[in-house]
Amino acid sequence: MARLSFDIVGFDLDGTLLDTSGDLAAAVNYAIGTIGRAPFPVDSIRPFVGKGAKVMLQRALDASGGYDEAILDQTLPILLDYYEQNLALHSLPYPGMMAMLDALAERGVKLAICTNKAERFTIPLLHQLGLFDRFASVVAGDTVGIAKPDPAPIHAMIERAGGGRAIFLGDTINDIAGARNAGIPSIAVSFGFLDGPVENLEADAVIHHFDELVPMLEAWPA
């Protein structure tokens, strides 16, 4: 088995490891339904995700007639409470994700997560899907007080996983810019919650399925 030139492979969560769009859409639709707004199809909500729940809701309110601070203050706690109670009804790993985690772990690589999702959702969601123990470190959107694309949470993810050479995978510009700001290479996943062509993210590489990841990392220049 070829040894990889990375000690740590870090992942974004929403739209990268997990398709959480069904549960996120249900929570957005429930919250905006309480003020009489019509529900969005899941496909329309995917591009709203990536900068945390508040921005996701702001984008949904914007796209359904606009909002002011009072509307946001009223609907945000409703969304957060609903989502907390319904984290993993529809959320599931992308194809090949579990086999890819196994293959990396077999090669002695540490697995890590840096997400912009808040800790109060991230940790229970990983436990509910039986994934939490697979990761050497999990840094959420509010863990270090600032979110991606700031490099601080990515640096924290690397340090908490024991340090070393790291690479980061993600589905939005927050992830790819965050990796660049942290001085590490990045891979974009084309199956995530993209809001444009995957090439626009300007990652160092792109994968279309998790089966491509281990061979790509084996061939990555040392």
Ligand X SMILES: O=C(O)COP(=O)(O)O
With binding defined as CB under 5 A, does residue 19 bind Mg ion? Answer: no
Task: Choose between 166 and 189: whose C-beta lies nearer to Mg ion.
Answer: 189
Interaction with Mg ion in 151-170: which residues (CB under 5 A)? none
For the chain, give the secondary structure using H, E and C. CCCCCCCEEEECCECCCEECHHHHHHHHHHHHHCCCCCCCCHHHHHHHCCCCHHHHHHHHHHCCCCCCHHHHHHHHHHHHHHHHHCCCCCCEECCCHHHHHHHHHHCCCEEEEECCCCHHHHHHHHHHCCCHHHCCEEECCCCCCCCCCCCHHHHHHHHHCCCCCEEEEECCHHHHHHHHHHCCCEEEECCCCCCCCHHHHCCCEEECCHHHHHHHHHCCCC
Q: CB of 49: closest distance to ligand X in angstroms?
A: 5
Residues 9-28 contacting ligand X, CB under 6 A: 12-15
Minimal distance, residue 12 CB to ligand X, in Å: 5
Question: Does 171 appear as a known binding residue?
Answer: yes
Question: Residues 32 to 91: which contact ligand X by CB under 6 A?
Answer: 49-52, 56
Q: How many residues bind ligand X (CB under 6 A)?
A: 12
Decide if residue 166 touches ligand X (CB under 6 A).
no
Q: Minimum Å distance from CB 27 to ligand X? A: 11
The verdict on 12 binding Mg ion (CB under 5 A) reads yes
Is residue 12 flagged as an active site residue?
Answer: yes
Residues known to be catalytic: 12
- Would you tell me which residues interact with ligand X (CB under 6 A)? 12-15, 49-52, 56, 115-117
Known binding-site residues for Mg(2+) equal 12, 14, 171
